[in-house]
Amino acid sequence: ALLLAFVVSVAATPAVIRLAGRYGFVARPKADRWHSRPTPLLGGIALYLGVTLSILAFGTLGREMLGVLIGGTLIFVLGLVDDVLQIKPSTKFLGQILASCVVLYAGLGFDLIPNPFLRLFLTILWIVGITNAFNLLDNMDGLSAGVAAISAMTTFIFSLVQGLPEISLLSLAVLGACLGFLIFNFNPARVFMGDCGSLFLGFTLAC
């Protein structure tokens, strides 16, 4: 799973770089970014493909895993639309809540508190919060993907110790995709993941 996600990410990222450059999907230098030249966006496409194909190839598609895949696809499409068309923050926020509700419907959520409404609120707060945290981290070369890789490795070790194979698989898929992407994203970055990548990574790790 780790190797497949890595290979897909490494293979897809150069194609995304060419595609983004050809059609003008680039990030221009700004005060809140560290790059000094226009840099292709949409690297999140490679991350999404790496993670998703790895899970489809090696995972058991139970209800919870399907919820993560469907919710992750929704959040990826939301970020992709934002990268291309620049949608309003309120629209992005509503889309994130919708993707969180897909995960809730699939059976994932906090179960430490007896009150069902509080559990629902905390689950949505957690998923939306972590999703946006990784989106905010995506302002320096390699930062968001690097933190995601470290988080995925930590989650993998924990899930391995606890005997949770589905979480182990998901963690390895994220780790492999991030490692492949980082080859092109370290300073000076040849590609940025864009919102489609940072939102997808944050959402998947939150799940």
- pLDDT tens sequence across 122-179: 999 999 999 999 999 988 888 999 999 999 999 999 999 999 999 999 999 999 999 9
d(CA 122, CA 105): 15
* DSSP at 107: T
At 12, list the tokens.
């897809």
Alpha-carbon distances of 97 from 126, 130, 199, rounded to whole Å: 11, 12, 12
Residues 6 or more apart whose Cβ sits within 8 Å of residue 71: 99, 100, 102, 103, 106, 203, 207
Write out the DSSP string of 16-75.
Answer: HHHHHHHHT-EEPP-TTS--SS-EE--THHHHHHHHHHHHHHH----HHHHHHHHHHHHH
* Confidence bin at 102 (pLDDT 50/70/90): very high
CA atoms within 13 A on the CB side of 91: 9
At 189, list the tokens.
């970055």
Tokens 């589905």 sit at which residue? 166
In this predicted structure, what is the pLDDT of residue 26? 84
Put simply, whether the predicted model's pTM sits higher than 0.85 gets the answer yes
Please report the beta strands in the chain, taking only residues with DSSP state E, as ranges in sequence order. 26-27, 39-40
Tokens 């992407």 sit at which residue? 181
The answer for 24, left when phi > 0, alpha when psi is -120 to 50, beta otherwise, is left
* Confidence bin at 35 (pLDDT 50/70/90): low
